[in-house]
Amino acid sequence: MARPLRWLADRGYTGRVYPVNPKYGELAGLPCYPGLADVPGPVDLVLALVPAGHAVDAVREAGAAGAAAIVVFASGFAETGPDGAALQQRLVETGRQAGVRVLGPNCQGIVYTPARLFATFSAAAERPLAGSCGIAYVGQSGAVGGSVLDIAAERGLDLTAWVSTGNQADVDLTDIGRHLVRDPEVSVLTVYAESVRDGAAYERLAAEAAAAGTALVVLRSGRSAAGRRAAVSHTGAMLGDDTAFTLVSRRHGVVLVDDVEELLAVATVLRGQPRPAGRRIAAVSTSGGAGILAADRCEGHGLTLPELAPHTQEKLARLVPDFGALANPVDVTAQLFNRGERAFGEVCSIVCADPQVDALLVLLTMVTGDAAVDLAEDLAAAVAATDVPCSVVWLAGQDQTTAARAVLGAAGIPVFSSIAVAARVAGALAPPAQPGTGAAPPRSPVIPTLPTELPGTGLPADQAGWALLDALGVPRPDGRLARTPFQAAEAAHALGGTVAMKVVAPGLEHKTDVGGVRLGVPADRAAGVFAELAGAVADPDGVLVQRMIPAGLELLVGAAGGQDGWPPVLTVGLGGTGTEVHRDLATALAPVTPEAALALLRELRSWPLLAGHRGAAPLDVAAAVEVLVRVGRAVAHWPQLAELEINPLIVGPAGAGAVAVDVLVATRKDMER
């Protein structure tokens, strides 16, 4: 109790504070009461610094005292095993019965500096924390949260709000986050999440942050169990469990980062500067070598360094020595600082005025002491006059640039000691790369009215997928299931004489894995091939004989149904037996419009093969788009559909269509078995 009580008493909290402990009559100069029922005034918030075994009683007493919320700091709950989980459940149930919201347990509390509320025992709050920088933090880990609070303060960023949610038995980070993004004191909300158990709640948070104009920056660790499934398809095996999380974040402009340093750096940029309009970055350096390193790292994060316009280079030539560089990266050389004038800021202003530049990265080497402060003031003034965001990498000792870094920090300009980290942050802040251009978007396909019941329900697995494709209007080759060599030969003659043959067996999803596929089989060999395929597996159901489809580009089209509040996801990629090798995939939330489907195809590295590569005729992109739209509609329409994969979808020449030659379907019930 000592830390939060001392901080509340000494740091200007204007509300009433009531210590409660039957062992004392006074604490921190305040009257101490034996129980909550003895407190003389109304109670809004209770800080329960009691062992886990007493927490349930504390929640009950908080409700009786009229408190709206209680912070349970103690550990010893779900994180310890089944007994702890049962105790945590009792905690939640008691809170609901008493009308009290529970933060925690196993958390480190709350800081809200505008109200001087320091309801935490985190050692990181020992710092004076007198300011309010407009950046808020909410996260599950007390240790990570303490690090964020401490590092931010060290960099001159006294967080406006800081909340540790711990086990999130009741109140979780999305509840806190939705409140903070509407707070006028908060311009940037940073989040550390170990799991996001409710996708719909996370999307509400992201949407509300965007609507309120509050930047949302998220650091996520681990994988959410929400999206985990025993994937039977190539798609499910290749996509990460957090695909839907990433796509939802992208939809609402959330910035995703990889570590605490990035979290604070991005927040610093967004607190004082706009996000870059594109992925084009200019580097201005005092060292040619540093500029080259920056170019390499930036390109590795999908950023481009465009050559500056001729009129920009002409202006720079009046300031940069002849042995410098003007194109991008711009190397001003150390000679620029020997002139006794402040020219560096002017160089940066000229670069930022170039229409090809979306962001500026300044790379400084051994500019130190008073010269460093002059440079920092010059740069801060230049950045303040432009809407191009700026970051600095200072490759010099902290002790020799402390005052200069403080000048830049006060101007909202982040300073890094690593080119690699600065490039990673710049990549995270930039908007997603836009796919290339090519075919015009087709008209919206006319999709038949879809029934409530999932087509194929109750049919064998090898038939369920085809029934679903038929309901969606996705073309497939004519085929027959043969159960004898004679039936195979008969089917081959009926289907045109040359066929594809595939063994069918329970639980056999990927037929090529067992050598269960033959292509281009003449009718007179169909009976013999039947025997070979039937012998490749135990207890086959038969052999599927299909009409051969002309060669084309093989795509994978997959979909994963929504779960635990997350939207369904649509995937397209280079298909066939090399799908896992190529790993050329693009994903989107389903359903998709024809324009979005076309954009997905353009994201693929293999897009030129569809659009017409090196003089080759373009393929039927419109037909592929139509299949994507139909599959996306299916996975959004039927909640019982867990996975759908077409592999391959053979896309023929323009006007020839796209045909699904193999399909896998898994329902929710299938996944539960």
Structure confidence at residue 382 as a pLDDT band (50, 70, 90): very high
User: For 499-545, what is each residue's pLDDT tens digit?
Assistant: 999 998 887 777 877 888 999 999 999 999 999 999 888 888 899 99
Q: Tell whether 98 is covered by a domain.
A: no
pLDDT band at 230 (very low <50, low <70, confident <90, very high): very low
pLDDT, residue 412, reads 84
Q: Identify the CA nearest to 38 among candidates 61, 16, 15, 57.
A: 61
| Nearest partner of 346 among 382, 386, 385, judged by Cα | 382
3-state secondary structure of 139: strand
Tell whether omega for the bond before 653 is within 30 degrees of 0, i.e. cis: no
Among 522, 547, 572, the domain-final residue is 547
Q: Is the four-CA dihedral 480, 483, 487, 489 of positive or negative sign?
A: positive
Same domain assignment for residues 128 and 247: yes
d(CA 295, CA 648): 39
Give the angle subtended at the CA of 180 by the CAs of 174 and 186, to the nearest 5°.
140
499-519 as b/e, with b when 16 or more CB fall inside 10 Å?
A: bbbbbbbeebeebeeeebbbe
Does the pLDDT of residue 442 top 70, yes or no? no
Q: What is the pLDDT of residue 399?
A: 84
| Tokens, residue 505 | 């067996």
Query: What percent of the chain shows pLDDT beyond 90?
Result: 65
Give percent of the chain with pLDDT exceeding 70: 94
- Is residue 489 domain-shared with residue 570, that is, in the same domain? no
| Angular region, 393: left φ>0, alpha ψ -120 to 50, beta rest | beta
Bond prior to 594 in cis (omega within 30° of 0): no
Give DSSP secondary structure letters for 217-248: EEEE-S--GGG-----SHHHHHS-TTHHHHHH
CATH number of the domain within which 594 lies: 3.30.470.20
Nearest-angstrom CA–CA distance, 266 and 391: 10
User: Burial code of 652-667, b = ≥16 C-beta within 10 A, e = fewer?
Assistant: beeeebbbbbbbbbbb
Cα 262–chain centre separation: 14
**Residue 174 CA: distances (Å) to CA of 72, 113, 491, 614:** 18, 20, 58, 50
How confident is the model at residue 224, as a pLDDT?
42
pLDDT band at 225 (very low <50, low <70, confident <90, very high): very low
- Tell me the CA distances in angstroms from 254 to 248, 399, 600, one per residue in order: 8, 35, 20
Task: Give the span between the Cα atoms of 421 and 89, in whole angstroms.
Answer: 42
pLDDT tens-digit profile of 603-650? 999 999 999 888 788 999 999 999 999 999 999 999 999 999 999 999
| 224 lies in the same domain as 290 | no
Same domain? For 315 and 423 the reply is yes
DSSP 60-89: HHHHHTT-SEEEE----SGGG-HHHHHHHH
CATH number, domain of 324, equals 3.40.50.261
Do residues 114 and 219 both lie within one domain?
Answer: yes
Domain membership flag for residue 68: no
Tokens of 180: 């903070």
Could you say which of 247, 270, 293 is where a domain stops? 270
Residue 436 reports pLDDT greater than 70: no
pLDDT of residue 226: 41
Task: Indicate whether 541 and 557 sit together in one domain.
Answer: no
417 in a structural domain: yes
- What are 343's two structure tokens? 């020219």
Mean pLDDT of 81-103: 96
pLDDT of 229 > 70? The answer is no
SS3 annotation, 624-636: HHHHHHHHHHHHH
pLDDT band for position 340 (cuts 50, 70, 90): low
- Whether 140 maps to a domain, the answer reads yes
Q: Which CATH number covers residue 522?
A: 3.30.1490.20
SS3 for 520?
A: strand
Judgement on whether residues 249 and 363 belong to the same structural domain of the protein: no
Q: Is 112 in the same domain as 260?
A: yes
Domain final residue, candidates 547, 575, 604: 547
Structure token pair of residue 66: 């009229």
633 in any annotated domain: yes
Does 589 fall in a domain? Answer: yes
Regarding whether 195 and 142 lie in a shared domain, the answer is yes
What pLDDT score does 422 carry?
92
The verdict on residue 19 lying in a domain is: no
Residue 569 sits in the same domain as residue 532: no
Mean pLDDT of 472-489: 94
Its pTM stands at 0.85
**How far is the first Cα of the chain from the last one, in angstroms, to the nearest whole number?**
50
**pLDDT the model gives residue 673:** 60
Which residues span the domain enclosing 487? Answer: 478-547
* Confidence band of 441 (pLDDT split at 50, 70, 90): low
Side chain identity, residue 465: G
295-309, 416-430, 432-446, 508-522: the lowest-pLDDT one: 432-446
Nearest by Cα to 604 from 591, 626, 587:
587
Answer yes or no: is 450 within a domain.
no
Summary mean pLDDT of the chain: 89
Q: What is the CA radius of gyration of the chain?
A: 31
Instruction: Give me the pLDDT at residue 658, please.
Output: 96
**pLDDT exceeds 90 at position 411:** no
Q: Reply yes or no on whether the pLDDT at 47 is more than 70.
A: yes
Instruction: Note the helical H segments in 141-259.
Output: 142-154, 173-180, 199-212, 234-238, 243-251
| Per-residue pLDDT tens digits for 587-596 | 999 999 999 9
**Edge to edge, what strands does the sheet with 117-120 contain?**
117-120, 109-112, 161-164, 135-139, 188-193, 215-220, 255-257
What pairing do the DSSP bridges indicate for beta strands 255-257 and 215-220?
parallel
SS3 119: strand
Both 389 and 531 in one domain: the answer is no
Task: Name the maximum alpha-carbon separation found in the chain.
Answer: 100
The whole-angstrom distance between residue 550's C-alpha and the CA centroid of its chain comes to 40
Structural domain total, the chain: 4
Comparison of pLDDT for 671 and 105, the residue scoring more:
105
Statement to judge: residues 387 and 309 lie in one domain? yes
